[in-house]
Structure 1
Amino acid sequence: MALNLRHRVIDRLQTLSDTQQTARELAQWIFDRFPEECAAKKASSGSHIQTDSDLVQQLVAEISGSRPRWQQMHAQLKTTEGRPRHYYWSEMDADAEVAAAEGVALFPSDLLDSSPLREHALYPLLAEYLLTDDQRVYTMRINEKRSSNRAGNGANEWLHPDLVGLEDLTSDWTQDLRDCVRVLGERRARLWSFEVKLLLNRSNARKSFFQAVSNSSWAHFGYLVAGTVEGDGTLKELRMLAAAHGIGVIQLDIENPTESQILIPARERSEIDWDMCNRLTEENSDFAEVIGRIRRFHQTGEVSTREWEATE
């Protein structure tokens, strides 16, 4: 019996109902579930496929290679950006996916604890990723509930970011060098700003990006962060916008935050926009606290890990 790979993949994703799967996970399931069909495929390959591992790898390659054609045939077959790419089946259009992003769709079921996943759940995951050795950025949540809202409800949506981070450039310097740089008044830290979304797709990519431009362009680095970046067209659009405006894109790995990826590096801003920082400080008490922490860092030359460790 011939192995109809497309049918098997589609059936599997439809059964999983919006749960994401990698090509390798799909290939391994097919290998385990349809041993006779897989054995026939292996036998017909001649010497090309010699072991079970070779067969699974061949299935992975065929799934990945067939993806563009399958997506033309099935609009409900969706994929994410980043590596590894994730596949899922969704009957919703792009607008509906954005509206439902705070529900159970698009994320592994064991992460949900029977409750909808909210954007706030991504903040500690982002903080964990940013504290890896590659980044070493200490973050603080900017809670919109602590904004003045003097201009009315929703007015601050485009004003302040979700998280602000401090990168200590002196962490591996000698004490003498730290003291020297402090006396000379040279830069000892970079500030990062993050706008976080559960999902980025062709429906909300531009709006979300320009929200990040508005909220994060004051910092040395501004990033738009998402738990899911859906499809090639979305990332292409984000790359064009990033080339013009300098905001980067991070895809969070929900299951393994330290494996998250910078899909598009942010362009560094040489100077902080302190006028914007002053406005943010006046509007939000959390941002005022961030400024206080940055001041204490420059006074002491040390980052208080305990002070920065909590991201509510």
Structure 2
Amino acid sequence: LCAYPYDRASGSEATMSFALKKRVVELLSANPEKRFKARDIALWITEKYPEDAAAKIERSVSIETHDQLLYQIVAEIGANRPSWQKQIPQLRTTEGVRPRLFYWSEKTEEQEVEDVESGRDQFVKFAAPDEIRLDDPAGVAEKKIARRSEHDLYPMLVEFLEFEHNVKGYRIDEKKSSNAYGAGGNKWLFPDVVGMENLTDGLHREVVTAIRESRDRQIRLWSFEVKLLVNRSNARETYFQAVSNSSWANLGYLVAAGIEGSETLKELRILYAMHGIGIIRLDEENPTESEILVPARERPDLEWAMCSRLAVENKDFHQFMTKVRQFFQTGDM
């Protein structure tokens, strides 16, 4: 543990001993694939190494209690995480969710995506720090949550859209598409989910009538590409898939149940600056608590020619366009 107070202004590891990184690696590597919060790691360290913890408090001019010590260690773990991950590829973290979770994996990031999408990785494992055996860090009791398939995520996304954003969501099944353009002709063409938002909802009926007769914009269409897991190995590919699939819509989003890996969100934000596709983190346990991490950049006009192409090629999208037409005729969704 640190012998001196941590300098948050500099964020430098020079003020801390090498032992903290060693302790973090000790716990995580003994419990591969299990997720820990930084506070759980700090608690384990102070309980496993009480003499070091006491020495840190004694030498510090700012730490007087055990809770303050935990807070300090958590701050140090967070501040040094980026440099540690560059040094130790097996040290992984979740992104876009608070608190961030730390875990150890011997898999490559490509293997992680492949295992999740193939169904081989059937569970997300969480540690139960209150049951950690101090004499055996590998004896952590684990909580397993079954991983869902990508298809399980679609109704969750629809629930989030309707509950939080008043957007009516619809599933687009790529399997219902024709194959008129041959193998690969429809690649990255169809979104997983589309949405329709009534921009006149809540307005006085006379105002709504005036908007309709003026032919001012009454509707906003959304497009979503859904993934189980996005990390640095597939961040660019999945983002550009969302760019391609959303080229017709006012708003396009890449949706992920899991965002993991150092610098993943940073890469996605760089791509957003160029292409405007937003990012949604989907909360599998509580879909209505999902979060738009990066709001999409709105396109004022729909690409009706592309909508026509999609409607010709896919029955679900054809039905979606029928609902859009009915809205323009009646105002009902």
TM-score interval, normalised by the smaller of the two chains: 0.7 to 0.9
**Counterpart amino acid of residue 56 in structure 1:** L
Q: Residue 125 of structure 2 contacts residue 144 of structure 2 at CA under 8 Å; is this kept in 1?
A: yes
Q: Residue 139 of structure 1 contacts residue 165 of structure 1 at CA under 8 Å; is this kept in 2?
A: yes
Aligned pair in 2 of structure 1 residues 132, 62: CA closer, same or farther (>3 Å)?
farther
Q: Which residue of 1 aligns with 2:149?
A: 118
Shift of 1:106: 8.1
1:131 aligns with 2:166: no
Pick one of 224, 234, 237 that aligns with 1:207: 237
Q: Which residue of 2 aligns with 1:263?
A: 293
Q: Residue 18 of structure 1 contacts residue 105 of structure 1 at CA under 8 Å; is this kept in 2?
A: no
Aligned pair in 2 of structure 1 residues 14, 265: CA closer, same or farther (>3 Å)?
same
Pick one of 277, 285, 292 that aligns with 2:315: 285
Count of residue correspondences = 299
Aligned pair in 2 of structure 1 residues 149, 17: CA closer, same or farther (>3 Å)?
farther
Q: Residue 2 of structure 2 contacts residue 56 of structure 2 at CA under 8 Å; is this kept in 1?
A: no
Q: Residue 163 of structure 1 contacts residue 195 of structure 1 at CA under 8 Å; is this kept in 2?
A: yes
Q: Residue 251 of structure 2 contacts residue 277 of structure 2 at CA under 8 Å; is this kept in 1?
A: yes
Give the distance between the partners of 2:154 and 2:175, measured in 1 at CA: 15
1:94 aligns with 2:125: no
Deviates more, 1:48-57 or 1:173-182: 48-57
Aligned pair in 2 of structure 1 residues 237, 36: CA closer, same or farther (>3 Å)?
closer
Aligned pair in 2 of structure 1 residues 155, 86: CA closer, same or farther (>3 Å)?
farther
Q: Which residue of 2 aligns with 1:242?
A: 272
Structure 2 residue runs of 5 or longer lacking an equivalent are 4-18, 127-142
Q: Residue 159 of structure 2 contacts residue 287 of structure 2 at CA under 8 Å; is this kept in 1?
A: yes
If asked which structure has higher relative contact order (CA below 8 Å, sep 6+), I would say 1
Give the distance between the partners of 1:111 and 1:222, measured in 2 at CA: 33
1:57 aligns with 2:88: no
Aligned pair in 2 of structure 1 residues 176, 257: CA closer, same or farther (>3 Å)?
same
Pick one of 24, 47, 54 that aligns with 1:9: 24
Q: Residue 19 of structure 1 contacts residue 105 of structure 1 at CA under 8 Å; is this kept in 2?
A: no
1:218-242 C-alpha deviation (Å, 9 max, x unpaired): 1001111222233343333322322
Give the distance between the partners of 2:284 and 2:39, measured in 1 at CA: 18
Shift of 1:97: 2.2
Larger Rg: 2
Q: Residue 57 of structure 2 contacts residue 65 of structure 2 at CA under 8 Å; is this kept in 1?
A: no
SS of equivalent residue, structure 1 residue 211 = helix
1:44 aligns with 2:74: no
Q: Residue 196 of structure 1 contacts residue 225 of structure 1 at CA under 8 Å; is this kept in 2?
A: yes
Shift of 1:51: 4.2
Structure 1 residue runs of 5 or longer lacking an equivalent are 304-312
Q: Residue 225 of structure 2 contacts residue 253 of structure 2 at CA under 8 Å; is this kept in 1?
A: yes
Q: Which residue of 1 aligns with 2:80?
A: 66
Identity within the alignment, %: 48
Q: Which residue of 2 aligns with 1:307?
A: none
SS of equivalent residue, structure 1 residue 271 = coil
Shift of 1:271: 0.6
Shift of 1:149: 2.7
Give the distance between the partners of 1:286 and 1:107, measured in 2 at CA: 33
Shift of 1:160: 0.5
Aligned pair in 2 of structure 1 residues 23, 174: CA closer, same or farther (>3 Å)?
farther
1:23 aligns with 2:38: yes
**Counterpart amino acid of residue 283 in structure 1:** E
Deviates more, 1:74-83 or 1:102-111: 102-111
Give the distance between the partners of 1:183 and 1:247, measured in 2 at CA: 32
Give the distance between the partners of 1:111 and 1:163, measured in 2 at CA: 29
Q: Residue 221 of structure 1 contacts residue 267 of structure 1 at CA under 8 Å; is this kept in 2?
A: yes
**Counterpart amino acid of residue 78 in structure 1:** R
Q: Which residue of 2 aligns with 1:310?
A: none
1:172-226 C-alpha deviation (Å, 9 max, x unpaired): 2222222221222221221110111122222222221221111101100111122
SS of equivalent residue, structure 2 residue 116 = coil
Give the distance between the partners of 2:272 and 2:317, measured in 1 at CA: 25
Shift of 1:119: 1.7
1:150 aligns with 2:183: no
**Counterpart amino acid of residue 121 in structure 1:** D
